[in-house]
Amino acid sequence: MESEPSVSRGNTTMAMKDSFIVTGGAGFIGSNIVEALARAGCDDVVVVDELDSDIKRRNLDSLTFRDYLDKADFREAFLADKLARPATVIHMGACSSTTETDEEYLRDNNYMYTRRLCEWCLAGDARFIYASSAATYGDGSLGYSDEDEVTPTLQPLNFYGKSKQMFDVWALENGLLDRITGLKYFNVYGPREDHKGDMRSVVHKAYGQVLEAGELGLFKSYRPDYADGEQVRDFVYVADAVKETLFFHENRGISGIFNCGTGTARTWLDLARAVFAAMGREPNINFIEMPEALRERYQYHTQADLTKLRRAGYDKPFMSIEDGVRDYVRGWLAKQSA
């Protein structure tokens, strides 16, 4: 039997006849995944989302896909088993607000929805790839290892992180991590995040501040071991996050929970300076008070441990924040504001 024809675009190789459902496909990471699939020649893609804003609608305007389903209709249809299963479901649809306080909503939307969708995929041998989060690591005192023995011990700092942790632990306890893949996304930034409001990346917020006021405010540090602006994050450009995600479609035999970051921690000052440089301006940074409600739940250090990802065979390099921010600012944000 002849092998299925494939097409390669950049670093992504996909079978042309592969079929996908991408939930959250009008959102930030989801819409970039849809774009990458189209570039790879995969147009049998069903996008699932809630188009509750014109900005999210515009995210889909330039993308190629087969069909769109409203989230509520999709959830009702797969629960009733009235949908044909695709080769792969990439589940990016969730409430991603780290400040959301409605725990029952997060339990239903981020945990139960994911659990039922996972069960539906497994019942029909569809590949299931879902978004977990680096928020599951809490204050980082237990490290950032994605090994299975660490997962149940983690203590997230907010309800969002807890909702993601609930599904990770459920999948682990039910022996499903040899059949599904979860990705713990760290601080992702890049095109098509405009609709995210206060959950936009600091790159997006910083660009707007500098454009309007010529200066940028960063949170002060409230720990003596971190100077102002020296708090660190693992910043990952969305193009790299998409490559990491699609690696697990291309390699269906590799499953489990994996960190999705760069493995490099950089300071907020590094990021701020990269934004000013991309805009062709001299840095003008001041430090502002952090809201009291955030001070006890603030992560001062995140850095993805990529040991497990590299062991799985992912060997692609990652963009530095200087290169990623330059590409984002000049190739997207400047054009959007022109």
Taking the alpha carbons at both ends of the chain, their separation in whole angstroms is 53
Inter-residue contact 135 to 158 (CB < 8 Å): yes
**In the block, residue with structure tokens 């494939």:** 6
Catalytic residue among 196, 205, 220, 308: 196
Q: Would you call 144 a catalytic residue per the annotation?
A: no
Distances (CA, A) of 260 to 81, 223, 257, 310, 314: 31, 27, 10, 11, 11
Measured in whole angstroms, the distance separating CA 40 from the mean position of its chain's CA atoms is: 20
Integer Cα distance of 31 and 47 in angstroms? 9
Distances (CA, A) of 120 to 78, 108, 128, 187: 7, 16, 10, 30
Neighbour count for residue 116 (Cβ, 10 Å): 13
Measured in whole angstroms, the distance separating CA 310 from the mean position of its chain's CA atoms is: 19
Catalytic residue among 130, 144, 160, 185: 160
**In the block, residue with structure tokens 């996050």:** 241
Inter-residue contact 60 to 31 (CB < 8 Å): yes
Q: Would you call 160 a catalytic residue per the annotation?
A: yes
Q: Does residue 100 sit in helix, strand or coil?
A: coil
Q: Are strands 235-237 and 20-23 parallel, antiparallel or unpaired?
A: unpaired
Rg (CA), the chain: 20
The sign one gets for the Cα dihedral 136, 22, 31, 147 is positive
Distances (CA, A) of 5 to 16, 41, 160, 252: 6, 11, 41, 17
For helices 113-123 and 159-173, the axis angle rounded to 10 degrees is 30
Inter-residue contact 321 to 266 (CB < 8 Å): yes
Which residues participate in catalysis according to the annotation? 160, 196
